[in-house]
Amino acid sequence: MDLSRLQIAVDLYAFSPPNAPNGGYLDLASLAQLPKYTSGKTHK
């Protein structure tokens, strides 16, 4: 796993609402299916 993807995972965890599935944490399988991100910004 490269650092940019890891940073995205951290950002998703940090900024997800508490009532999101799995406490806001997306596993790598889910992360791999998300659209691409730019500059570490998340799109929901």
pLDDT one-digit tens code per residue, 1-44: 577 777 777 776 666 655 555 544 556 556 666 655 544 555 55
CA distances from 21 to 3, 17, 26, 35, 38 (A): 24, 9, 8, 18, 24
What is the pLDDT, as a whole number, of residue 8?
A: 75
Range of the domain at 30: 1-44
Global pTM reads 0.27
What is the pLDDT, as a whole number, of residue 39?
A: 46
What is the pLDDT, as a whole number, of residue 22?
A: 54
What is the pLDDT, as a whole number, of residue 23?
A: 47
Dihedral sign, Cα of residue 14, residue 19, residue 20, residue 24: positive
